């Protein structure tokens, strides 16, 4: 009888340890934030940090800290914005940020899987009409 009690206690302790380890792993995974660096360049084009045109690829639901280096492209808005970072379909979820010259940082949650378009909605100068980048969100 005592042996059964010890075995049950051992099994319970082992199960608790496994559950605790799993919970800690999940908390770490959920707490992780991916940093994505972009350039809103003086030629009024969005670029990846390596100078590439994209697309920007994200995982649905991931937390993303955007760090955007903004360069003056010829014109500014009245509020001093030189560019903006807008996904029209996601404006109500915070995907609409006006950016001033220098580095701007903001954190967003990647949307459901699909294809999206990041656009500049500030009249920033020559080439503004083509200032966009494709964003692909995977499962």
Split into its structural domains, the chain has a count of 2
Co-location of 12 and 77 in the same domain: no
Co-location of 121 and 54 in the same domain: yes
Tens-place pLDDT, residues 113-133: 999 999 999 999 999 999 999
Co-location of 73 and 115 in the same domain: yes
The pLDDT mean for the chain works out to 86
In angstroms, the CA 119 to CA 117 distance is 6
Please check the confidence at residue 96 and state whether its pLDDT lies above 80.
yes
CB burial of residue 123 (10 Å; 0-12, 13-18, 19+): middle
Among 13, 44, 123, which residue's Cα sits nearest to residue 77?
123
Provide the domain limits for residue 8: 1-32
Co-location of 121 and 79 in the same domain: yes
Tens-place pLDDT, residues 6-47: 566 556 444 444 433 444 344 445 569 999 999 999 999 999
Q: How many CA atoms lie within 13 A of 46 on its CB side?
A: 26
Co-location of 97 and 83 in the same domain: yes
């Amino acid at each position: 009888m005592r042996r059964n009690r010890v075995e049950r206690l051992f099994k319970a302790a082992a199960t608790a340890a496994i559950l605790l380890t799993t919970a800690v792993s999940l908390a770490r995974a959920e707490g992780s934030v991916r940093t994505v660096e972009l350039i809103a360049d003086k030629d009024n084009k969005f670029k990846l940090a390596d100078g590439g045109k994209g697309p920007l690829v994200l995982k649905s639901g991931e937390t993303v800290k955007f760090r955007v280096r903004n360069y003056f492209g010829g014109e500014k808005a009245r509020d001093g914005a030189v560019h903006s970072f807008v996904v029209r379909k996601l404006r109500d979820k915070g995907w609409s940020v006006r950016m001033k010259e220098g580095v701007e940082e903001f954190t967003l949650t990647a949307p459901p899987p699909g294809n999206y378009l990041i656009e500049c909605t500030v009249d920033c100068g020559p080439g503004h009409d083509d200032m966009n980048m494709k964003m692909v969100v995977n499962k």
